[in-house]
A and B are shown apart, each in its own frame.
Chain A
Amino acid sequence: NAGVMQNPRHLVRRRGQEARLRCSPVKGHSHVYWYRQLPEEGLKFMVYLQKENIIDESGMPKERFSAEFPKEGPSILRIQQVVRGDSAAYFCASSPGQGYGATEAFFGQGTRLTVV
């Protein structure tokens, strides 16, 4: 009974490098959400994806950040040219398809990104 799997759990990048965060949703879930949590703060919505489609990216910074959820394989959150302010915990969540608005989202353990 695998839940949402995120890897890596911890990621250290130097300024200017790229960070790639992976998320495998619960089996059978077709909706994926990414959130960012700064230390001692709440979760900020970043992006909502369905298979091969970005549904809502209103919380995603316009530059350097991108996300995808391909037909096969995990969802990827990519941060290019990282800066110290990108250091945070990034959480992925998944839920079943549309029509299940009443269903809770299931969260992964998060990837803690540290930019040095």
Chain B
Amino acid sequence: AQSVAQPEDQVNVAEGNPLTVKCTYSVSGNPYLFWYVQYPNRGLQFLLKYITGDNLVKGSYGFEAEFNKSQTSFHLKKPSALVSDSALYFCAVRVVYSSASKIIFGSGTRLSIRP
């Protein structure tokens, strides 16, 4: 089955420290991978995506993600966390099948940045 997993429900980081939010995937064929962020009572905002090419993808708000094909991972990273980064983060994969495609989301990781 095609799926995406976020093994950590919660990640706590001190402001100014680097952060990593983990994501692993299982798909057949080439993966299209995405990261979204959700602030309280809001919809999802697109952060970045990996389609092909450079394994290190840069996105919005200083975030980046590293695609690792051998480990089937797509971890989200930021060199220096801000308190305003505190939110719910979702990893997603687009599943492409015969005549259509849909996006499947991980269970989400709550990122908490302490001052």
Contacts and interface: CB of A to CB of B under 8 A. Distances in A.
Given A101-B94, A102-B49, A42 B43 contact: no
A106 B100 CA distance: 17
Interface stretch (A63-71, A76-84, A107-115): A107-115
A108 B46 contact: no
Interface residues of B, number: 24
Contacts of A4: 43
B87 interface: no
B99 interface: yes
B26 to A, nearest CB: 16
Given A102-B49, A104-B46, A93 B90 contact: no
A43 B49 contact: no
A55 B36 CA distance: 24
B11 interface: no
A53 to B, nearest CB: 9
Interface of A: 4, 33, 35, 41-43, 45, 48, 50, 55-56, 91, 93, 98, 101-102, 104-110, 112
Interface of B: 32, 34, 36, 41-46, 49, 51, 90, 94, 96, 99-108
